[in-house]
Amino acid sequence: MKELLRNRVFLLVMASDVLQQVGIWVRNMALLYYVVQQTQGDPVAVSLLTVVEYAPIFLFSLVGGVLADRWRPKRTMIWGDVLSFLSIVPILFVVAWGYWQAVFIVTMISAIVSQFSQPSSAKLLKTHVPEQELTAAMAMTQMVGSLFIILGPILGTFVYYTFGVMVSLSSLLVIFALSACFLLFLPDSPRSMERLSVQAVVRDLRGGLLYLREHANLKVLMVMFGVLALGAGLTAPLDIFLVTERLGLAEADLQWFTALSGLGLLIGAIIAASLSGRLKGKGVVFAGLILLGAGTMIEVWSVWPILTGGMRLITGLFLALTQTVIGTYMLTLVRAEYIGRINGLITPIFIGCTLIGTGLSGMLVAQSSLIFVYMLSGLILMLAALVALRLRFDYPVAKQAEGGETAGK
């Protein structure tokens, strides 16, 4: 851990990540409240925020991954912040003139930029963080995300209701500028000597598909992510009903259960960082997913807030351990020059299955019951645990390299 905290690249990437998290939550909460106020709570307008956030993932994830593998990560991330900065300026004027619909463009541009910057960030960690420190690095990243799950909504709500939408959006200018300044101190990466062309992009895409096909573990991960996302998606929009119908609490009390999940994620990330290199991969993933499935079932049967809150805390803890192990495993398994493409292939499947589950949840509740949907979700999550048993955590690195070279030919 001490070596990791002296790693300049890791610290700069983390500083940028913290700023990005601040920006994400200030933006998300401000746009949510602003759209609700402007439309008098129109559910179509509110759901459109989700659509414009996820649609670019399907459209740009794979292309963004291919280009992220080809482009220099430092320059890609800096340009992402610069473009985000430049996109905010005209939108501020448009919103000031009364065209509130322009706020949807903010969400869409941020989603598009993230498809290029996220794989570039992972590529930097893969290249500059020693393999024995990757688990701690992923745990620290998880820790930041968990902390903002707890504090992000509070921060975003405070900024919006204290200063309004214009200040909320204007603060993003400062955040993107600071992030770009931190990234300027990253080391440069070698420039690709091959000129970018459609043929080169298609060839890189085929190379990524071949790399995926030749690595059984990556195919297992893709299936596991799909099953996991489907199960999680079924209950994602139903937590509010768990609080109101099963626990008999007010809608506003949902925030406390979300905070407990975030606290569990934070504790789990701290444990993962302290146990760096000593976590048993397959056992942690299997146990984490089994517990997540069982916790989902227990939550829907529970009529006691203490039990439900306790399960949220415990499942959050094990979920953080699972995410840290899987994130480290993927960075270890995938060669640096393929990280963007593999991320671009897996992410749309995860998001797509999540949206399928979310889309089916309302219909299933209407045709059956809340208990049935949560029980079904728990079983699907346990199925993901069974799929995870096919992962090989002793996969030889030398064989990976051979497969990667074959895929690149």
Q: Fold match between 1-185 and 199-409?
A: yes
Of all residues in the chain, what percent carry a pLDDT higher than 90?
Answer: 25
Give the distance, in angstroms, between the CA of residue 70 and the centroid of all CA atoms in the same chain. Answer: 22
The whole-number pLDDT of residue 198 equals: 66
The whole-number pLDDT of residue 409 equals: 38
Arithmetic mean of pLDDT, 39-58: 73
The whole-number pLDDT of residue 298 equals: 96
Lowest mean pLDDT among 90-99, 199-208, 400-409: 400-409
The whole-number pLDDT of residue 385 equals: 94
The whole-number pLDDT of residue 291 equals: 94
Q: Is 357 exposed, middle or buried (0-12, 13-18, 19+ CB in 10 A)?
A: buried
What global pTM score does this model have?
Answer: 0.75
Convert the pLDDT of each residue in 115-173 to its tens digit: 778 888 888 888 888 878 887 888 888 788 878 877 888 888 889 889 998 999 899 99
> What are 284-288's contacts with CB under 8 Å, separation 24+?
284/321, 284/322, 284/325, 285/322, 285/325, 285/326, 285/385, 285/388, 285/391, 286/385, 286/388, 286/389, 287/318, 288/318, 288/319, 288/321, 288/322, 288/325, 288/385
Contact 342, 65 (CB under 8 A): yes
The position carrying tokens 């080169």 is 200
CA 356/CA 241 separation, integer angstroms? 19
Average pLDDT over the chain, rounded to an integer: 83
Contact 230, 349 (CB under 8 A): no
Lowest mean pLDDT among 5-19, 131-145, 191-205: 191-205
26's enclosing H/E stretch is helix 8-39
DSSP string, 89-126: HHHHHHHHTT-GGGHHHHHHHHHHHHHHHHHHHHHHHH
Q: What's 1-185's CATH class?
A: mainly alpha
pLDDT higher than 70, residue 387? yes
CA 103/CA 49 separation, integer angstroms? 9
The whole-number pLDDT of residue 197 equals: 61
pLDDT higher than 80, residue 400? no
Convert the pLDDT of each residue in 240-249 to its tens digit: 888 888 999 8
pLDDT higher than 70, residue 339? yes
Show me where the domains of the chain are located.
1-185, 199-409
Q: Which of these, 323, 336, 344, lies nearest to 400 by C-alpha position?
A: 336
Convert the pLDDT of each residue in 55-90 to its tens digit: 777 777 777 777 777 788 888 889 888 888 888 888
More confident position, 162 or 52: 162
The encoded tokens of residue 221 equal 């991960």
Is residue 373 very low, low, confident or very high in pLDDT (cuts 50, 70, 90)?
A: very high
Is residue 338 very low, low, confident or very high in pLDDT (cuts 50, 70, 90)?
A: confident
Task: Please give the CATH superfamily to which domain 199-409 belongs.
Answer: MFS general substrate transporter like domains (1.20.1250.20)
CA 144/CA 60 separation, integer angstroms? 26
- All residues at 6 or more sequence positions from 107 whose CB lies less than 8 Å from its CB, including other chains: 27, 31, 49, 52, 53
Q: Which of the given ranges, 36-40, 79-83, 174-178, 266-270, has the highest pLDDT on average?
A: 174-178
The whole-number pLDDT of residue 406 equals: 43
